[in-house]
Structure 1
C-alpha cells in the first residue's frame, strides 16, 4: 500500500471557503483503479493558520502514479491555481510506503 498526503496551512479567514472547496467538489477518486480510501483532515490551530491535509490510500505506489497521469486527475485539478488563494503557500506533499497495516 501507499499513502499520499498534502498538507495545507489555511489562515482563519479562509477556512470556511477552503473547506467548501474540498467538500463541494466531485470526488473522482472512486473511479480510479487501485484507490482504497480518502480522508480530508482538519488539524491543529496555530497562531496564524490551521493545518489541513488530504490523505489518500492506494493499493500500490504504481496505482498512485497511474492516478497522477489519469484523465480523472486532470479533471480534479483543472481549477488548481485559479481563483483566490486560500492557503499560506503551496501544499506540502508527503508520500509513504506502508510497512505495516493493522485493521479490525
Structure 2
C-alpha cells in the first residue's frame, strides 16, 4: 500500500513563472530516502486571482513519508522556504493532504 503526500498552492496570478522556476531549480534529495517513488508538480485550473498547483509525492508507506519529514534532507529542502516565497505570491499557506492507496490499477 502506498502513501501520497500532496500540498496545494494557490499561486497569485502573475507569479506562476517564478513559482515554477523555484521548484525546477531546487535541489531535491528525495531520491536519497527509503520508500520514495515519484515526485510531480502539477499545474491546475485558474481561479479568481490565482492558479492552483499541487506537489504530489508517492511513497511506499506513510511511515516512509513520516521518516522524510524528520530527516536531514527534509530540513535542508525547507530551510529557505520563507525566502523563496518572496519570489512569488501565494493566496494563503499551502494545504497538506495525505492519502493511503486503497486501490491501484495500472
TM-score if structure 1 supplies the norm length? 0.94
Shift of 1:87: 1.1
RMSD of the TM alignment (CA)?
A: 1.0
Larger % of helix: which?
Answer: 2
For 2:91, what is the secondary structure of its paired residue? Answer: coil
1:86 deviates by 2.3
Runs of 4+ in 1 over 3 A off after TM superposition: none
- Could you tell me which runs of 5 or more consecutive residues in structure 1 were left unpaired when the two chains were aligned: none
Unpaired stretches in structure 2, ≥5 consecutive residues: none
2: distance between equivalents of 1:77 and 1:60?
21
What is the number of equivalent residue pairs in this alignment? Answer: 103
Matched, 1:98 2:101: yes
TM-score between both structures, scaled by the size of structure 2: 0.93
Match of 2:41 in 1: 40
**Structure 1 partner of 2:92:** 89
